[in-house]
Structure 1
Amino acid sequence: MPSTERIDCQIPATCAGMRLDQALAALLPDYSRNRLQQWLKAGQLRVDGGIRRPRDPVVGGEMVSGEWGREAETTAVAQNLPLDLCYQDADLLVINKPVGLVAHPAAGNRDGTLVNALLHHFPKLATLPRAGLVHRLDKDTSGLLVVARSLRAHTVLVEQLQARRIEREYLAVVNGMLVAGGTVNAPVGRHPVDRQRMAVTAGGKPALTHYRVLRRFCTHTLLRVKLETGRTHQIRVHMAHIRLPLLGDPVYGGRPRLPPGATPRCIETIQGFRRQALHAERLALTHPVSGERLEWHAELPADLAELLAVLAEDADRRDG
């Protein structure tokens, strides 16, 4: 049975002149402004016993009341799948997602996802939007994800993400040689012809990606990439847009680039790397309750560590 939530509070005089939804967002920080607006429009939140519009001004002293059941926000089923937990407390989780794990159920991946695993290990996440997921990683991108464990934490973390206060840094191997780092500032949206792909398009959403060089190999470069926005496939699309696609990317990468005169082992490793060479290595955020600034790092997965070792061996052989 769903649990019941009830709100009974009085709008303070200090909120006089504010919009109703603004006053409620300040008074009830556990809930997003969008959610409060929905409840007002549905009549689930009443002001002095009546229905008010979100934009109506307040004078202070109004009594706000409401009650509703906490229904499950997801229909996904719990499954006993392993989780690599980097951090957990009462408010949030940080997960090191392995390659091959889909974040959220969708067409073609109804189960066996990160959400299914989260619901098994933390059943109360069923009452949160997307089972607490604040952001996602592509199936074949490894690394760090943050999950909220309460509605308040989810609201605050989503606000941090939208305000670009959550730092997300990736390690990426691209096809091509770079002299220096840079920034890609180009909108990303659905490809106009192939709707399964994303592309840089005039009608897309703003997208900003920073990158700097960590190491140059013979025909590839290791980058540290920092996201300021979180569009679908953003790094993969932006790197391909500047003609430096990620090694192994099956959608945006093109044919693998082989160093001239490479050893059989090097050729086999590059040709055998069949997923985008991308790893969410660093995550930093402000704790949604304590206000403490926290930071985590995730070690490279075995396949990417081996790829870098082979590329380095090939480069060192040439230098020597």
Structure 2
Amino acid sequence: MNEPLATLTVRLPLTSAGRRLDQVLAELFPDYSRSRLTSWIKSGDALLDGAVVLPRHLVRGDETVTLTVRMVQEVELAPEPIDLDIRFEDKDVIVINKPVGLVVHPGAGNSAGTLQNALLHHDPKLVEVPRAGIVHRLDKDTSGLMVVARSLRAHTSLVDQLQTRSMHRQYEAVVNGSLIAGGTVDAPISRHPHDRLKQSVQEGGREAVTHYRVRERFRGHSLLQLNLETGRTHQIRVHMQHIRHALVGDSLYSGGLKLPRGASPELIEILRGFKRQALHAERLEFLHPKSGKLVSVEAARPPDMERLIAALRADTQGADPRWRDSE
């Protein structure tokens, strides 16, 4: 089957000038493989300012790409009996609470043990839906809620809600530094110019907006609530680094361990042992693809983040109360 599912439109960032179209699209649409995007360019399903061009065409930046997403099974995956923490399920959608360490999409050297494998075991009919129904993703070491489409109609609806920003995604994170107040980070994001594993704030990148507020303030750290307007790769991690409050445990963006002055041995042990970004997708809201009613699902933070926050709270409560004035 090769049915059209959705039409996505994006304006190319100015930083893409002089690069091949297939390379640029691989960065802008990371949920689709390079080979799949190349085939769509060749077939005319990826148009540049309304015209068919070759994959090697050099873009000038600021053009509009119109991508017609078609139903394809990109990788032959075997169903696997992997436990799923299902928080909501009906004939149209499934909401999963993804654990830390579970990879969402298969990749090079990683064709087994993924959320896609688990979903195909849970519902074999998901083979008929792109990416087994996955319409958005979380990093391997980020925990929390994801919605999965069980039909083409549901997939189209959820993709549209993501594109129009009507899907509400709320996160909780522990960051370095004791923040006084919340705010908004409105800073465009693009692939890091020197490190291909990273993203970074760059002029001419894709629009990215993150709202944050302080839930609790500790000595040297803060517990934040974050709400996304956009959904760029690594968006929260990049934006928090950009304002110099990187996530605890984020080896890619934090720049190392940060310890409060005079931290107890217990807190030091917990901070040193926290080996993943302290980020959890705690709440998800969307309009049901069939009924149109609001679906709202919440998931409590996982035990490792609970222990981390408890240790930071205990350290703060046991400190000299003048610490707030000394920072």
Fold conserved (TM > 0.5)? yes
Distance 1:295 1:319, change over 3 A: farther
Say if 1:73 and 1:131, in contact at 8 Å, map to a contact too: no
Aligned to 1:103: 104
Any conservation in 1 of the 2:264–2:315 contact (CA below 8 Å)? yes
Change (3 A) 1:72 1:281: same
1:81 alignment partner in structure 2: 82
Contact 1:74-1:126 at 8 Å conserved across structures: no
Give the drift of 1:305.
Answer: 0.4
**Could you tell me which residue of structure 2 aligns to residue 254 of structure 1?**
255
Map 1:141-160; keep pairs closer than 5 Å: 141-160=142-161
Equivalent residues of 1:91, 1:149 under 8 A apart: yes
CA offsets 1:253-293 (integer angstroms, 9 cap, x no match): 11211111111101100111111000000000110100111
Which 4+ runs in 1 deviate beyond 4 A? 70-74
| Alignment match, 2:121 | 120
C-alpha deviation, 1:204, in angstroms: 1.8
CA distance, structure 1, for counterparts of residue 112 and residue 264 of structure 2: 41
Q: Report how many residues are paired.
A: 266
1:181 corresponds to which residue?
182
Q: Is the 8 A contact 1:79 1:120 kept in 2?
A: yes
Q: 1:313 to 1:288 in 2, by over 3 A?
A: same
Task: Check the 8 A contact 1:74/1:127 in 2, yes or no.
Answer: no
Q: Is the 8 A contact 1:172 1:224 kept in 2?
A: yes
**1:146 positional shift:** 0.3
Q: For 1:169 and 1:273, locate their aligned partners in 2 and report how far apart those are by CA, in whole Å.
A: 22
Compute the RMSD of aligned alpha carbons.
2.4
Instruction: State whether residues 72 and 130 of structure 2, in contact with CA within 8 Å, keep that contact through their aligned partners in structure 1.
Output: no
CA 1:33/1:248 → structure 2, altered by over 3 Å: closer, same or farther? closer
1:159 shift after superposition: 0.1
Report the equivalent of 1:304: 305
Gaps of 5+ in 2: 9-38, 44-49, 52-70, 322-327
Q: Provide the residue aligned with 2:243 in structure 1.
A: 242
Q: Is 2:169 aligned against 1:168?
A: yes
Distance 1:191 1:31 in 2: 31
Structure 2 counterpart of 1:61? none
User: What residue identity is the alignment partner of 1:32?
Assistant: A
| Corresponding residue of 2:223 | 222
TM-score by length of 2: 0.77
Query: Aligned residue for 1:12?
Result: none
Letter in structure 2 aligned against 1:193 = H
Tell me, yes or no, if the aligned pair for 2:282 and 2:298 is still in contact at 8 Å.
yes
Q: Distance in 2 between matches of 1:110 and 1:236?
A: 26
Q: In 2, Cα distance between the equivalents of 1:110 and 1:134? A: 19
Letter matched to residue 200 of structure 1:
V
Which of these two proteins has the greater Rg computed from alpha carbons? 1
Report the CA distance shift for 1:262/1:186 in structure 2 as closer, same or farther (over 3 A). Answer: same
Q: Determine helix, strand or coil for the equivalent of 1:170.
A: strand
SS of the residue corresponding to residue 319 of structure 2 reads helix
Work out the percentage of aligned pairs sharing the same amino acid.
57
Return the match for 2:6 from 20, 23, 32.
32
Offset of 1:72 from its aligned partner? Answer: 4.3
Aligned counterpart, 2:279: 278
Partner Cα separation in structure 2 for residue 265 and residue 110 of structure 1: 39
CA positional deviation for 1:108: 3.4
**What one-letter code is carried by the residue in structure 1 that aligns with 2:270?**
T
Whole-angstrom distance in 1 between the partners of 2:183 and 2:138: 23
The TM-score, its normalising length taken from structure 1, stands at: 0.78
Per-residue CA deviations over 1:36-67 (Å, capped at 9, x if unaligned) read xx99x98xxxxxxxxxxx99xxxxxxxxxxxx
SS in 2 for 1:107: coil
Map 1:307-318 to 2 at 5 A. Answer: 307-318=308-319
The letter for the 2-side match of 1:186 is A
SS of the aligned residue for 1:180 comes to coil
Question: Partners of 1:183 and 1:319 in 2: how far apart?
Answer: 31
